[in-house]
Chains A and B, each alone.
Chain A
Amino acid sequence: MNNLAKLKSIPDFLLITAAAIIISSCQPDNRNGAAEAEGFCFGTFISVKSFTDDNNSDAEKMSENAVQICERLDSVFSRSYTENANRLIDQDGCLKECLTTTASLNDKYGDGVNLTCGRITSLWGISSPKPAVPESDDIIKALGFIEDTGYHNGDLKDFSDGVMLDFGAVAKGYACDLIYRGITEDLYTGSEASLAGKNSCQIVSMGSTTLLCGEKPDKSSFKVAVKDPASPGGDNYLGIISCAQAFISTSGGYERFFVEDGIKYEHIIDVKTGYPIKTDLTSVTVIVPVRAENGGILSDFLSTLIYIGGTESLDRYLGDTEYYVIAADINGFIHKSRNMPEDMFSLKNEVYSYAQ
């Protein structure tokens, strides 16, 4: 009250209060550093948002480094589309790490995802501007170049002549793994700033694969909308995932496909038949908490594998505790992990209902 008493009158006090409100309402919110970066990699659009407590400079470094990691990996992986596996040069060990990690996942979960399918995917031209149905003889020949992903423990020169690799099934997940390592090990700033842990936040969106890292500036949980596979372009999402930091991947045939003679061909190829897979699932999303080792590759690998396996082999994945699964089938039923926290996924589409 003493300070207030110094004011000449109540109107003076009101004037100062009003002026303070005006000034504060015009100030930008500078409590957190925030920066975005974008790029085109892995045949998709990459968007990175970073937040730090300190300043924009750290956030800018985080975002730029994430995009640079993607661009570097994209150039490494894209060489595999034009060069035989045994002639590739694995300068920094990325290819070997992807091959051995995928091979260990093959041992644990199944061999539906095989990175030696390069010759078949290029035959279909799935990632090219003009995909087309190949001759059946060519498909049979290409199947002859499929080998076990982990056959040579990642030693490229031992792959048979003519084998070509396609890292598409795990490339984005692996990029997320490297980005996450960069943040948690403070590789970006080299300072003791806030990047290693709770005071920074990064959201890396690569279309079908996402890394959610750290804690959002407002402490709220991350919110991820899952597209409705029947209407992926609309606002009518399948549901909303609400979670802490995680790797998330979604697989489905509703966005990348081509139509020839009235038949729809999806971009995921069955490495056993050489043709696009047939599945009774329309969308599979896998959420892997960041504590899992190589969680990015794991989420990418599993979403594809579960999608390929369909409802027939779904049950074994719904019981695992290392990750969470949300799968939609062709009859409009949603299957989710039995151990999924109640508030992790909210169904937002009345066309769908939970499977009993």
Chain B
Amino acid sequence: MRSDGRKLIKKTDLLPLLIIVSVTFLLLFAFSGEKPGYAEIYHNGELIRTCSLDDNGDIYVCGGNVRLTVSDGGIFVSESSCPDKTCVRTGRIHTGYQSIVCLPNKLLVKISDDNTNSNDIDVIM
């Protein structure tokens, strides 16, 4: 109790305060937490499809010449018509600095996520 007789925190203050604090923590959690990535699939330089890495299943692209498989939070080329199979050998990708390229089929698959930070890898070679 203060000398003017006014309570430090009134009951009516508590409800909006509680809502504001709850929303704050929810938003902070939503923006800072680990978010699932998604794959962007480009053919001839054009984005033809995006897919969540939370899903599982096969995707056929490039006129059916390439089969992409999404599983366990990653994506990989499971079958390709190209002669060199470099895209198949690239294996499974799952983070923002990785990509799959199939030059004969003009295919690019890359991961888009917001989980990168300064400790992440800039380039793989």
- On A, residues with C-beta under 8 Å from B are 9-11, 14-15, 18-19, 21-22, 25-26, 38-40, 43-45, 47, 129-131, 203, 205, 207-210, 212, 216, 218, 220, 222-227, 232-235, 237, 240, 248, 250, 255-256, 258, 285
Contacts and interface: CB of A to CB of B under 8 A. Distances in A.
30 contacts: A9-B6, A9-B9, A9-B13, A14-B17, A18-B20, A18-B21, A21-B28, A22-B20, A22-B23, A25-B28, A43-B103, A45-B103, A129-B82, A129-B83, A129-B104, A207-B125, A209-B125, A210-B123, A218-B118, A220-B119, A223-B120, A223-B122, A224-B124, A226-B125, A227-B124, A227-B125, A233-B91, A233-B92, A237-B124, A285-B125
B68 to A, nearest CB: 14
Contacts of B17: 11, 14-15, 18
Given A38-B108, A248-B123, 8 more contacts: A18-B21, A39-B45, A130-B83, A131-B83, A203-B122, A216-B118, A223-B123, A225-B123
Interface string B90-111: 1110100001010110101000
A10 B125 contact: no
A176 to B, nearest CB: 12
A11 B12 CA distance: 10
Contacts of B28: 21, 25
A23 to B, nearest CB: 10
Contacts of A210: 123, 125
A223 B97 CA distance: 11
A130 B81 CA distance: 12
Contacts of A10: 8-9
A14 B10 CA distance: 13
B84 interface: yes
Nearest to B26: A22
Interface residues of B, number: 38
B123 A26 contact: no
B108 A45 contact: yes
Contact of B86 (A11, A218, A226, A255): A255
Contacts, number: 107
A203 B125 contact: no
Nearest to A8: B6
A178 B8 CA distance: 68
Given A38-B108, A44-B101, A216-B118, A256 B27 contact: no
B8 A9 contact: yes
A48 to B, nearest CB: 11
Interface of B: 6, 8-10, 13, 16-17, 20-21, 23-24, 27-28, 31, 45, 82-84, 86, 89-92, 94, 99, 101, 103-104, 106, 108, 118-125
A203 to B, nearest CB: 5
B91 A234 contact: yes
A208 B123 CA distance: 10
A25 B27 CA distance: 7
Looking at B31, B118, B125, the one whose CB has the most chain A CB atoms below 10 A away is B125
B11 to A, nearest CB: 11
Contacts of A232: 89-91
Contacts of B124: 224-225, 227, 237
Given A9-B8, A19-B20, A222 B125 contact: no
B123 A205 contact: yes
Contacts of A14: 17
A237 B97 CA distance: 13
Contact of B20 (A15, A130, A233): A15
Contacts of B94: 235
Q: Which 8 A-B pairs have the closest CB atoms?
A: A233-B91, A11-B13, A45-B101, A18-B20, A218-B118, A220-B118, A225-B124, A225-B121
A222 B122 CA distance: 6
B122 A224 contact: yes
Contacts of A9: 6, 8-9, 13
Contacts of B6: 9
A208 to B, nearest CB: 6
Contacts of B8: 9-10
A322 to B, nearest CB: 20
